Amino acid sequence: MKWLIGLLILLALVTIPAAAQDDGFTARVDVTSAFARALPALDAEAIASVFEDERLEVVSRNLDGTWFEVRRPGRFNNLGWMFGETLEWDFQPELLPLGDLTTGVIGPTPLTSAPDFAVFLVESPVLRTQPLRNSARVPGVSIPFSVTVPVLARNQDGSWLFVNYLGHQGWVVAFAGRPLTNVLDIPQAINLPPLENVPSVIIPVEIQQAQIDRLRIFINERREYTAGLEDFWWRVFRGEIMPCNTPPELLDYPYTESDVRELPELQRYAPRLVTAMDYVQTSQGLLAQCGVVSPDNVIEARDGAINARIIFDATLEALQALEEDVVLRGR
């Protein structure tokens, strides 16, 4: 009998991937109902149904981290793949194992094995042929933000990452992604060009902190408003009658060349905030027409709020990492 119990324990350990045993990789169904599919694609076969508020274990991610392979808690068999936007989750998808190497590949160089590293992109980077700012772009490739891409190698100091995005390979600057604490554990590429000598200007920490604080206040105010819009349109979609008030006028983040000199990262953050504000305008634009609105328009308005919130959240996270770096440099 003891050998049978031991065999069952061993079988359980072999069957359940390490990520699935981590309580942090869980999600809740955030829509009324949805399908789990055989592959991470909208046109893949639907093989199971899940319903609102159902809790699921997340086992792996797809090539760009927008789909998750899931199963019900305590089960050995996986349900299938679910689109990330149908779930509510709070974990780092780059820490999940890569569970599918082929679905969605559009480039000439598909992966043949799952790399050990990945990066979550907080902004849309340029894919380049070399780890240099002036190197050529990989033609015909546009990588969006809020995706997770496999990392195959790094440059000498980890400031550039060699990634594979749906079969397209090239270099992206590391600051476009969520900071990797283990970046130097990534294998270093061969035949690298010399590191670039980037001129630097020393800005007092107090001035940089003031710029960070001002930007954070701006983002938090709009993030709170956007979260309210998201909830508003969800309640409308579910049939509630909501008040129709004139939306406030929201302006883009004001900054000058002097602000950029004090906080150079503004050149990266400000354009993504413009994109977020465009989504906000899409979401609140429907408030200008009171009365009955179509479900399609409501969904579009809610999607606009969700997209804006995602950008705000990613920018706040990047701002937190920048603040920690500024404080560290000031010590």
Residue-wise pLDDT for 178-205, tens only, equals 888 889 999 999 999 999 875 566 778 8
Residue written as token pair 């590191």? 195
- pLDDT tops 50 at residue 255: yes
**Residue 64: helix, strand or coil by DSSP?**
coil
- pLDDT tops 80 at residue 306: yes
C-alpha 253/C-alpha 214 separation (Å) is 10
Percent of the chain beyond pLDDT 70?
Answer: 90
Global pTM value: 0.64
pLDDT the model gives residue 3: 41
Structure tokens at 235: 């309640």
CA atoms within 13 A on the CB side of 64: 19
- Between 74 and 47, residue with greater pLDDT: 47
Q: Which of 208-236 are b and which e, b meaning 16 or more Cβ less than 10 Å from the residue's Cβ?
A: beebbeebbebbeebbebbbebbebbbeb
**What number does CATH give the domain 117-185?**
2.30.30.40
Is it true that domain 2-95 has CATH number 2.30.30.40?
Answer: yes
pLDDT the model gives residue 198: 58
| Max mean pLDDT range (1-15, 80-94, 193-207) | 80-94
How many helices and strands in the chain, by DSSP H and E?
A: 6, 11
Mean pLDDT of the chain: 87
**Residue 53: helix, strand or coil by DSSP?**
coil
